[in-house]
């Protein structure tokens, strides 16, 4: 089951019409580098301005699993079917390997 954030971010992309093979599987990774103030701007040190988030959905990604931004780099090649090995130098682990 998706969280409300995952539904809001990934839901519209998954439902978008596109000419694809019916067997094609897509993985979406949406990432921010920092937050923003409601009144505009993002150069401060408040919790909201320093906060960042990531949302993912796709085959093998389990909803609700805690992950960090370091886990994004190994997730992208893993989603494309590229094997990831512990010696590859990624500091995190693929969302799909949890």
pLDDT for 8-57, tens place per residue? Answer: 656 666 555 555 666 777 888 888 877 777 777 766 777 777 777 788 88
47: containing domain: 4-97
pLDDT digits (tens, 9 = 90+) for 65-75: 888 888 888 88
Structure tokens belonging to residue 41: 């701007």
CA distance 49 to 80: 32
| Number of structural domains in the chain | 1
* Torsion angles phi and psi, residue 63, rounded to 5: -65, 145
**Gap between the Cα atoms of 65 and 88, Å rounded:** 23
The pLDDT of residue 1: 43
- Position 59 scores a pLDDT of 85
């Amino acid at each position: 089951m998706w969280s409300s954030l995952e539904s809001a971010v990934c839901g519209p992309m998954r439902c978008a019409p596109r000419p694809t093979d019916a067997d094609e599987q897509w993985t979406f990774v949406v990432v921010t580098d920092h937050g923003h103030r409601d009144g505009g701007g993002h150069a401060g040190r408040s919790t909201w301005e320093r906060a960042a988030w990531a949302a993912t959905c796709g085959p093998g990604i389990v909803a609700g699993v805690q992950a960090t931004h370091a886990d994004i780099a190994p997730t992208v090649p893993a989603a494309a079917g590229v094997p990831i090995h512990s010696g590859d130098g990624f500091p995190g682990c693929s969302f799909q390997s949890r």
